[in-house]
Structure 1
């Protein structure tokens, strides 16, 4: 039997990118048009496809260079007073909080639901009774969709704008007939990969158009306004999606349904196999109010306590199986953020931060790779 130290690592994630052969027709179209950036024909086609899928007008959808800039620009487009307090979950990727800071505001770190791992409208309402909150930035944690009707009602009752950080939730998070704003990632590891890219979807009047303008330095391109075309209308940045990335996004879109089904099946199989293999009780993220995951991009389990997690981590390392503590450390423990955030009580997020562990999950996992992951869990 081959020693573990001689085995290749089982990777945590493997991007599901289109092959060069699949991309070639799109790249040939781009080259024939000699248009490589600045809202080219492929970007326009991709945006039109997204608008159709969400049942919106084209002006309610815009692409951006990545989801982090999408969040920053969506917050900027709200035109909140400088230093506004934006409620975010303590359990999330750092970009959720850094986008708030870079937009000139203060993240307020809140707890999440113990079962769904989501910042809910109920948690947000409770936070609003404790301090002044100016906006809410919930996260579709690990792609789990929010119930948009509840967030629309929250906006109507409180008057506070809500932007959903749906970075990992393309294909799972929809507007569901409600009003709202969603920001998706098209990163290489997401369910609809474009290598890099982001998507802003919003029914809020003018928000997507404002984000589009801000992504092009803030320059006015609309001849119908009082400003001359080319005039700086606001202080933006360069956050446009390129034609290269749009080509990848369009190619990925063609196979999205099939790959989403394959991701669902793989996750269900692995969860069942791990549940049967483990002598420890395992817990999984509960289905949220927005429905089930349609295209999972990772596999994250909850172990009984911190010591068990450490034991499993060590065993995985010995077997050369990659793992990840999502999301560690929690935002309240990030030294760079501590002087820039306000922190509410986060008991459930703290417990999740001590017990969650991500395991390898990607399309194309071989049977030996799956078996090695299961063998580690069985041996504990």
Structure 2
């Protein structure tokens, strides 16, 4: 069958990883150095590149094996007492909650803003006032960036540490002159793919260094320390990024800008076409003070009602068009999490979960695939 034929399935996502020829120079360097893990030259170069982008010192950035492990180790590095209450949105990927639990704390699940779909400082203030928490873990939902100046003011006012789960936010989420801590993912489906991996950016003194140590089992490597080199300074884990994943990330970084531009153009084209097909009756995630998503990786529409979403899902399934109810079930509807979480009122997140649908979106999506999707949207709306 030819690409884009009416009977071909349309996938939800297609990873945009650099081709083998683009990777070859980095792989050759890795092989020549005979360095494959444990903070090799490619990992150090990648960390330097990230530090330069964020305008920070190299000691304020560290890579990790995944964003999930990065979140766990950041939470461990904050020095919170065991069982601390960590405020986080119920509208997020499961890894946010599991990271809190695996760090030994209690997820306190709260609502999100109706337009941006983010946990905002105002929501956090209200939650803390009625049900005190010990830290806050906002999420850059679907890649939408947070206003870091607003979160810095929140930290200054409350004394609560804030860590942004920016897993999907590379290129969009910045410190923007404020203090803060960000954790990014380099998973294959993200805008900067390494296959697997992540990195931590933090202006908090010593935090990135602490994460780096914990990611290497917690072993002391500082000769000036009171501990012998090789002794455990803390109980960590193996969360180091490999040289192979750093090679893929460096190759991805080399072509990131043009990829981000193409993703933005595709998003505008698809949103406009789908909005016309839906006669303006669908809604999109709205940007806040920190701006829009610089390199979108997902396309999520809010349908007029649950019945309309159900019709669209059924029509898509019949035609081999993949869809996904992103971030659903909500965290407070996950049976495996419920015994370990505290739930605050979540009316906006509950309403969002009734109507949100993820639609196919990937680089090099062809016009025929887009036309099939818009026709299905028209059918769902006519019904």
Q: TM-score, normalised by structure 2?
A: 0.97
What residue number does 2:266 align with?
A: 266
Do the aligned residues in 1 keep the contact of 2:89 with 2:118 (CA within 8 Å)?
yes
Pair 1:374–1:265, CA change in 2 (3 A): same
Report the more deviating stretch, 180-189 or 367-376.
Answer: 367-376
Task: Quote the offset at 1:50 in angstroms.
Answer: 0.2
State the Cα deviation string for residues 324-376 of structure 1 (Å, max 9, x = none): 00111110000000000000000000000111000000001011111111111
Do the aligned residues in 1 keep the contact of 2:324 with 2:358 (CA within 8 Å)?
yes
User: Which residues in structure 2 correspond to 1:217-228 (within 5 Å)?
Assistant: 217-228=217-228
Which segments of structure 1 move beyond 4 Å, counting only runs of 4 or more?
A: none
Q: RMSD of the TM alignment (CA)?
A: 1.4
What residue number does 1:94 align with?
A: 94
Do the aligned residues in 2 keep the contact of 1:260 with 1:296 (CA within 8 Å)?
yes
Task: Quote the offset at 1:130 in angstroms.
Answer: 1.1
Do the aligned residues in 2 keep the contact of 1:135 with 1:161 (CA within 8 Å)?
yes
Do the aligned residues in 1 keep the contact of 2:5 with 2:368 (CA within 8 Å)?
no
Task: Quote the offset at 1:5 in angstroms.
Answer: 11
Matched, 1:142 2:142: yes
What residue number does 1:170 align with?
A: 170
Task: Quote the offset at 1:111 in angstroms.
Answer: 0.2
Question: Aligned with 2:128: secondary structure?
Answer: helix
Question: Aligned with 1:275: secondary structure?
Answer: helix
Report the more deviating stretch, 207-216 or 282-291.
Answer: 282-291
Question: Aligned with 1:335: secondary structure?
Answer: coil
Do the aligned residues in 2 keep the contact of 1:183 with 1:198 (CA within 8 Å)?
yes
Do the aligned residues in 2 keep the contact of 1:220 with 1:227 (CA within 8 Å)?
yes
Distance 1:123 1:208 in 2: 28
What residue number does 1:188 align with?
A: 188
What residue number does 1:320 align with?
A: 320
Distance 2:193 2:177 in 1: 26
What residue number does 2:251 align with?
A: 251
Name stretches of at least 5 consecutive residues in structure 2 with no aligned partner: none
Do the aligned residues in 1 keep the contact of 2:68 with 2:96 (CA within 8 Å)?
yes
Q: TM-score, normalised by structure 1?
A: 0.98
Do the aligned residues in 2 keep the contact of 1:148 with 1:179 (CA within 8 Å)?
yes
Distance 1:281 1:237 in 2: 49
When the two structures are aligned, how many residues end up with a matched partner?
Answer: 379
Distance 1:240 1:208 in 2: 13
Do the aligned residues in 2 keep the contact of 1:280 with 1:303 (CA within 8 Å)?
no
Task: Quote the offset at 1:8 in angstroms.
Answer: 2.3
Report the more deviating stretch, 288-297 or 65-74.
Answer: 288-297
What residue number does 2:358 align with?
A: 358
Do the aligned residues in 2 keep the contact of 1:27 with 1:247 (CA within 8 Å)?
yes
Do the aligned residues in 2 keep the contact of 1:280 with 1:304 (CA within 8 Å)?
no
Distance 1:253 1:362 in 2: 18
Name stretches of at least 5 consecutive residues in structure 1 with no aligned partner: none
State the Cα deviation string for residues 41-70 of structure 1 (Å, max 9, x = none): 000000000000000000000000000000
Question: Aligned with 2:16: secondary structure?
Answer: coil
What residue number does 2:200 align with?
A: 200
